[in-house]
Amino acid sequence: MNEMSPSSQPRTPMSRKMSPGVEKAVKVQPDTDARTIRLLPDEPQRISVQDFRQMLMTAVMSGASDITFQSDQQPRPEIHGILYRGMTRPLSPTELNLILVEAYGGSNGPTEINAMNVLDFSYELNLPDGDRQRFRVNATGIYGRDGAGVELTFRALPRRTPDLELVKLGADEVAALAPRDGIVVIAGATGSGKSTTMAALTRYHLEESPRPVKIVDIQAPIEYTFRDVMSSLGGSSSTIGQSEVGRHVRSFAEGVHSALRRKPHIINVGEARDFETIAASLEASLTGHLVYTTTHAGSVAVAIRRLLTIFPGNERESRGYDLVNALRFLMVQHLVPTPDGSGRVPVREYLQFTEAMRERLLTSPMQDWSTIVDQAVQGALAGQDPEMQHASLQSVCSKLYAEGKITRRDALHLGGRYAVEGHG
């Protein structure tokens, strides 16, 4: 994926004047049988910028988490994990071009797409009440009717910073997720709520830390600004400085190296996507900082393997030992629709890397690490390390299925047949 240069990154308007079109947005009830929702009450032959803004905010007010605009297709808002058709007709290439130019903030958006660049940026609408609605946006070239098309995916970001109650983290989990130093990894697929969980933990540190903390937050793009949190801290002197890859720093790795010269207590690294970023994060954690980062994986054992395979072969062993020494907690998160489709439930597998667990790994061959980690997640090592927190997808799915919070199908898919046996 090609990264944008700082000069090509869009600029967020400083004006707080209302974005024309958003005042017409209203909450609409989707037709769950037909899988449709009317984002515009009267569809014009060609949508305008104002129509686009109205559609976007109507989708958000109706509960959409993501909205996809794709060449030669109808808009597709996703509401509680279900995709709906948002118009009766497909959008034309001209309309997609208009949306891209508006969202990206400049006419060079189509040029970037034609140059095979993948664009990740943020988009913001000013609302009638003076508040703002932010979106994380990805724009990628796709095959279209005339060969060249584009797909834009808008992730609606909550206007208020999420808290621990929203992401459903318990006190014991939070304690394990907030060590004094080391690396905490939050893994999961795209759209599994990794960024939301990290934001809730960041809010916790800003508001609840017994000592004031300085947090350096490096994202691509910035999703949560923490304005509401910082404006209500009262007497606390905790602070957060945010940098966006492509706008303020060239890469995650550069952002981490810069953070080390800024004397932070906590460093948030949006994604551990390459060797340079992980190496820089390890350096930061091993020098006394607490580092939060995310990666893509479906289980704790897979996350360990994924992180190890990013290291070059000639450095894998030494870097692997650094990783184990630095790890404090690894959590994999899935979001599963509720049986009635009214929301989604977080399903989490996790493992706390206690001193005893790290020692067990460091004295075992690296090829055995995934097996040992999997045994620990399943609880097979609990007797040897009773302080270690752990939870497997099987046990969590079994509990949630028994409570009626997820369907049998989802429990089987994530937790396997043992997650549903004995529950009818």
Whether 129 and 172 map to the same domain: the answer is: no
**Model pLDDT, residue 3:** 38
Give the pair of three-digit tokens for residue 199.
Answer: 């934001």
Over the chain (424 residues), the average pLDDT of each successive run of 10 is 39 66 96 95 95 98 96 94 94 94 91 92 91 92 84 91 94 94 95 93 93 94 89 87 92 95 96 93 94 96 93 91 96 93 91 95 94 94 86 95 94 89 67
Number of separate domains in the chain: 2
Whether 26 and 169 map to the same domain: the answer is: no
Whether 85 and 190 map to the same domain: the answer is: no
Whether 25 and 169 map to the same domain: the answer is: no
Residue 418 located in a structural domain: no
Half-sphere exposure of 146 (CA within 13 A, CB side): 7
Residue 57 located in a structural domain: yes
Residue 419 located in a structural domain: no
Q: What are the residues whose beta carbons fall under 8 Å from the beta carbon of 383, sequence distance 6 or more?
A: none
**Model pLDDT, residue 144:** 77
Is residue 34 packed enough to be buried (19+ CB in 10 Å), middle (13-18) or exposed (0-12)? Answer: exposed
Among the three residues 109, 132, 157, which one is the final residue of a domain in this structure? 157
Any idea what the CATH number is for the domain that residue 179 is in?
Answer: 3.40.50.300
Among the three residues 135, 157, 179, which one is the final residue of a domain in this structure? 157
Residue 183 CA to residue 216 CA, distance in Å, equals: 14
Whether 168 and 150 map to the same domain: the answer is: no
Whether 153 and 180 map to the same domain: the answer is: no
Give the pair of three-digit tokens for residue 24.
Answer: 């017409």
Residue 404 located in a structural domain: no
Among the three residues 101, 124, 157, which one is the final residue of a domain in this structure? 157
Any idea what the CATH number is for the domain that residue 152 is in?
Answer: 3.30.450.90
For residue 376, what are the domain limits? 164-391
Residue 403 located in a structural domain: no
